Chain A
């Protein structure tokens, strides 16, 4: 309003503006006084600077918390190393800027931990051939960029068994952020696990369209429970709302990313959990020893239950002895490297996707674009 017509006070306000600009700058100065960097990086063993980037908050009871715990393990294993961290880093050129900043601060090893950080990391990696990038969840690599991930869908099969045995209505619910290969694969594993112990079990899927929108998660959970769903599973970054809403409405929940048994003292069955620490420590050591390029970490590295990176979360009060026995047996089988995706696998339309007797390899699995029979709800936009 008045802004277009302030000719009288222009000079005055400009001086104020200038003063404010300087004030702002001083505020920034005070805020981080003394913390300025020394860009000279010490390359001595164990004295590296290591940077971690998370796409969400580090304490989200989910994916980012799991990655953060990995960083804690690295800190503990390399007490002389300097660990830099940045959370809520979007999967855009912003991430490039944060990585560049960490490199200016002396980082020689970077852990971009969201799968969407891959593109930005590839760009930065090209510009800094002497920095090693260890990206979580990616499907491409470069000379100084390796990518690793865990086959967490393996344990999702076991979790599905727990859900399939626990359900009374034969209806399971899955609250999912987005339809991408990783999430579809987990839903499929969960439903196949449930079917293996309860052929009548069906899994209803609701997509919230956001990695973390507790309001939608609450309503999605309520909607599923209204449909007589009595076991809830989910796949998104912040996981507490679904578990707690299920607990409050007296239905059971299984988990993904992290142990949430404390949030559901009555209804918790079990869940899949990440244990990144040991792997991250091994990777840092390999880079330190100058053996990165020859190591499997320089490629598309995949680990599963046998390596200990993927774990089954502790059983909760709702897990009966029968459930524990079955799930533990499956878990033991997974520890031997078994992949729970043997054919025949049919998609929702009945089309045969994996022939009988065939087990797809990891890369075929990771480009899954269909849901298996028994899943209720469609992939939006078509496969």
Chain B
């Protein structure tokens, strides 16, 4: 802890050679064991389908990355929820505008850009207020979470409601060209690959590049970073906006990969669960894949809890919260012991 606090360079890669001394490998192994145990023992026992878990975990990865990137620069982004929702609005606008005229090869990349842009725009508000009037980004993003779903509702109940379906509050069904391809007869969509690729990309940027290193210095001690001549504001702004873009990509993936139509209530709670997922693993992008899978499994197991055991579906929140509180406590105690 002290090395970052003082802003002194930290080694980018641990020097130990044996894999048991290599924390990243140890963690990867740990997650691997969990996934194997989950798939071979837990899923069959509770009738949880692997496909459902993967689909459910995907938005958690994006929303988790939206927390992890700003966290590296010392910022707290609680706004994944709003960024996710607003991006879906932008993506749907793009689909309604040009969805019928373009082929998938052009349209899908365009929608990816729309999703990234939507998320950036929504987190950009908080980022701008952060660097100009020093408004705390945690509260700003939190408040904006209550606004974005209303923007979505405004369009879905208003201008975009489906006139071909008796004015139901859903958008027009997306054309096939605007849907992410799925694998064979399954519902596994390309967005799952996006999520894994995004996690790897974020890991590369944060842990292996100069920018990632600078962000870590800013996050560790902004004052020292400033004195060292780093553009603190620019890095903070970029980190928060990049986080929003990742949540936005998650929104794009959910609305084009899973739903195929914009409805109210898509993705409610995903931003918060992503937040938990990222904190669970100390904002490490690759581990986030594991924690998202864990939380995705818990979410899906919630169906079984309700249908077979009669527990309300929201009781899975209790489980998630307890796990995170325990991890935070234990990690807090452990960190205190070493610093």
Cα-based distance from A89 to B332 in the complex (angstroms): 37
| Residues from chain A with Cβ under 8 Å of B182 in the complex | none
Cα-based distance from A27 to B294 in the complex (angstroms): 13
B157 touches A24 (CB 8 A): no
Given the interface pairs A5-B220, A86-B306, the reply to whether A13 lies near B265 with Cβ below 8 Å is no
B42 touches A29 (CB 8 A): yes
Please, which residue of chain A has its CB at the minimum distance from the CB of B76?
A1
Q: How far is the CB of B168 from chain A (nearest CB, A)?
A: 7
Please, which residue of chain B has its CB at the minimum distance from the CB of A179?
B157
Cα-based distance from A307 to B28 in the complex (angstroms): 62
Number of residue pairs spanning A and B whose beta carbons lie under 8 angstroms apart: 198
Please, which residue of chain A has its CB at the minimum distance from the CB of B42?
A25
| Residues from chain B with Cβ under 8 Å of A382 in the complex | 158
A13, A51, A119, A180: the one contacting B157 at CB < 8 Å is A180
**Count of A interface residues, CB-CB < 8 Å:** 67
| Residues from chain B with Cβ under 8 Å of A178 in the complex | 157, 169
Question: Would you list which residues of chain A between 113 and 134 have a CB under 8 Å from chain B?
Answer: 115-116, 119
B42 touches A13 (CB 8 A): no
| Residues from chain A with Cβ under 8 Å of B303 in the complex | 86, 97-98, 101
A28 touches B305 (CB 8 A): yes
Does residue B120 face the partner (Cβ distance < 8 Å to A)?
Answer: no
| Residues from chain A with Cβ under 8 Å of B313 in the complex | 86-89
A90 touches B265 (CB 8 A): yes
A119 touches B261 (CB 8 A): yes
Q: How far is the CB of B338 from chain A (nearest CB, A)?
A: 4
Does residue A85 face the partner (Cβ distance < 8 Å to B)?
Answer: yes
A32 touches B331 (CB 8 A): no
Which of these binds chain A: B91-99, B194-202, B279-287?
A: B279-287
| Residues from chain B with Cβ under 8 Å of A116 in the complex | 168-170, 263
| Residues from chain B with Cβ under 8 Å of A60 in the complex | none
A4, A25, A381: the one contacting B4 at CB < 8 Å is A4
**Count of B interface residues, CB-CB < 8 Å:** 83
Does residue A263 face the partner (Cβ distance < 8 Å to B)?
Answer: no
Given the interface pairs A2-B1, A91-B263, the reply to whether A100 lies near B335 with Cβ below 8 Å is no
| Residues from chain B with Cβ under 8 Å of A39 in the complex | 47
B307 touches A98 (CB 8 A): yes
Cα-based distance from A14 to B161 in the complex (angstroms): 48
B165, B268, B298: the one contacting A139 at CB < 8 Å is B165
Please, which residue of chain A has its CB at the minimum distance from the CB of B216?
A4
Given the interface pairs A29-B45, A101-B304, A178-B157, the reply to whether A6 lies near B37 with Cβ below 8 Å is no
B309 touches A97 (CB 8 A): no
Does residue B129 face the partner (Cβ distance < 8 Å to A)?
Answer: no
Cα-based distance from A17 to B295 in the complex (angstroms): 13
Does residue A377 face the partner (Cβ distance < 8 Å to B)?
Answer: no
A10, A93, A180, A363: the one contacting B258 at CB < 8 Å is A93
B308 touches A35 (CB 8 A): yes
Cα-based distance from A35 to B301 in the complex (angstroms): 13
| Residues from chain A with Cβ under 8 Å of B26 in the complex | 11, 14
Does residue B10 face the partner (Cβ distance < 8 Å to A)?
Answer: yes
A3, A31, A87: the one contacting B305 at CB < 8 Å is A31
Does residue B259 face the partner (Cβ distance < 8 Å to A)?
Answer: yes
16 additional A-B residue pairs with CB within 8 Å, beyond A4-B216, A97-B56: A2-B335, A7-B10, A9-B338, A15-B30, A17-B27, A17-B327, A18-B34, A21-B294, A25-B37, A27-B319, A32-B309, A89-B313, A92-B259, A92-B266, A105-B47, A140-B165
Closest 9 CB pairs of A and B: A381-B158, A10-B23, A5-B4, A32-B309, A35-B308, A3-B282, A9-B334, A8-B338, A367-B166
Binding site for B on A (CB under 8 A): 1-18, 20-22, 24-25, 27-29, 31-32, 35-37, 39, 51, 84-93, 97-98, 100-102, 104-105, 115-116, 119, 139-140, 178-181, 209, 363, 366-367, 369, 380-382
Can you report 6 residue pairs joining A to B where beta carbons are below 8 Å apart? A4-B216, A4-B282, A8-B1, A17-B27, A17-B30, A20-B327
